[in-house]
Amino acid sequence: MLKIISSLLLMLGLSFGTANAYEVNDPENTLLLKLKDGDVLIQMFPDVAPNHVARIKELVRQGFYDGLKFHRVIEGFMAQTGDPLGNGTGGSGKNLKAEFNNKPHRRGAVSMARASDPDSADSQFFICFKDSNFLDGQYTVWGQVIAGMEYVDNIKRGTGANGMVTDPDKIVSMKVVADLQK
């Protein structure tokens, strides 16, 4: 099994050290997020956010996230993406009912962005740069970075209180790891 996992990770451009530290136990619920500086693995939580995970995988498999900007990035807080308009006002057109859970907004948590309505999450999500427990119970955590957080840390920061980014970094691609095994 370890040989298969290490072969897969090498094929994805990840090191054997990553395979030892972070086994991909559930390729169907693991994402490979390619950024300009390197690859990020995100373990998804279908047990606590099944509808969000299903929708994210549906959008990933459509190629929805490929090329999208990290339009809002606040130093010491988070990097937000998932808006096809690139300004924080767009989405895929399908709102999701909140699935608040007990997963904390710790460093590397992946959570849905939303408007004031708890059931307004769509396609936008954010990755926490540091623990942000003040968000717990108010946003749906659907994943956790398990490898490559150093590449998330390199995402270009925005300016001002809203963190809007000029000439932002983009998602190179986002894939479900199980799809890469086929």
Of 137, 21, 18, 124, nearest in space to 78 by CA:
124
Q: Kindly indicate the confidence band of residue 182, based on its pLDDT and cuts at 50, 70 and 90.
A: confident
Nearest CA to 154 out of 173, 135, 133, 168 is that of 168
pTM score over 0.75 = yes
pLDDT, position 161: 84
Residue 76, both tokens: 């010491």
CA separation for the pair 40, 38 (Å, rounded): 7
pLDDT score of 16: 36
Domain residue ranges in the chain: 26-180
pLDDT tens digits for 12-21? 455 433 433 3
Specify the CATH class of 26-180 in words. mainly beta
pLDDT digits (tens, 9 = 90+) for 89-134: 999 999 999 999 999 999 999 999 999 999 999 999 999 999 999 9
> In sequence order, what DSSP letters do the residues of 31-51 get, joined into one string?
EEEEETTEEEEEEE-TTT-HH
pLDDT digit string (tens) for 25-51? Answer: 999 999 999 999 999 999 999 999 999
Residue 179, pLDDT > 60, answer yes
Q: Is 98 helix (H, G, I), strand (E, B) or coil?
A: coil
pLDDT of residue 13: 52
